[in-house]
Amino acid sequence: MRQYTFLAAAAILAVACGDDPPTGPGSGMTAQMRADVAQSTGEAIAQNTEAMARTEATASSSLFAFGGDPSAGNCSITLGNLLCITSFGSLDGQAEITFRDAGSAEQDEYSAETTASIAIETDWDGEINRSGFDIDLMGNGAFTVTGLAGAEANRTWNGTSNIAVTSSTHAGNRTYEWTSTTNWASVVVAASGTEPRWPTSGTVTSDVQLEVLDGPDDGRTATTTVKVTFNGTANVPLMVGNTEYRLDLASRTVTAN
Q: How many alpha carbons lie under 13 Å from residue 32 in its C-beta half-sphere? A: 14
| Averaged pLDDT for residues 99-121 | 89
What is the per-residue pLDDT for 12?
30
Distance CA(113)–CA(239), nearest Å, equals: 39
**pLDDT band of 89, cuts 50, 70, 90:** low
Average pLDDT, the chain: 82
Identity of the amino acid at 203? T
In this structure, is residue 124 part of a structural domain?
Answer: yes
- For residue 57, tell me if it sits in a domain: yes
Domain count, the chain: 1
pLDDT confidence tier of residue 24, bands split at 50, 70 and 90: very low
The answer to whether residue 217 sits within a structural domain is yes
Of the listed ranges 1-15, 126-140, 152-166, 236-250, the one predicted with least confidence:
1-15
Binned at pLDDT 50, 70 and 90, residue 23 comes out as: very low
Mean pLDDT over 88-109 rounds to 85
* Range 150-178 burial, b when 16+ CB lie within 10 A, else e: eeeebbbbebebbbebeebbbeeebbbbb
> Does some domain include residue 4?
no
* Residue range(s) defining the domain that contains residue 217: 16-256
Smallest CA-to-CA distance from 205 within 234, 185, 235 is with 185
Q: Please check whether residue 62 lies inside any domain of the structure.
A: yes
CB-based contact 40:47 (threshold 8 Å): no
Confidence (pLDDT) at 70: 53
Whether residue 188 lies inside any domain: the answer is yes
Span 124-165, pLDDT tens digits? 899 988 888 899 999 999 999 999 888 889 999 999 999 999
Is 221 or 9 the better-scoring residue by pLDDT? 221
Q: What is the mean pLDDT of residues 184-193?
A: 92
- Rounded Cα distance, 251 and 230, in Å: 16
Mean pLDDT of 220-228: 96
Q: Which residue has the higher pLDDT, 157 or 27?
A: 157
Which tens digits make up the pLDDT trace of 33-49?
Answer: 999 999 999 998 998 88
Beta strand pairing status for 106-107 and 16-17? unpaired
Share of the chain above pLDDT 70, in %: 79
Pairing of strands 16-17, 75-78: unpaired
Per-residue pLDDT tens over the stretch 50-87? 888 876 655 455 555 555 455 555 677 766 677 777 76
Mean pLDDT of 167-172: 94
Q: For the segment 189-217, what is each residue's pLDDT rounded down to a tens digit?
A: 998 888 889 999 999 999 999 999 999 89
Alpha carbon distance 146, 138 (integer Å): 27
CA 223 to each of CA 61, 153, 155, 212: distance values in angstroms, whole numbers, following the listed order? 31, 38, 32, 12
Neighbouring C-alpha atoms within 13 Å toward the C-beta of 256: 6
Q: Is residue 3 part of a domain?
A: no
> Does any domain span residue 166?
yes
**117-133 pLDDT tens trace:** 999 898 989 998 888 88
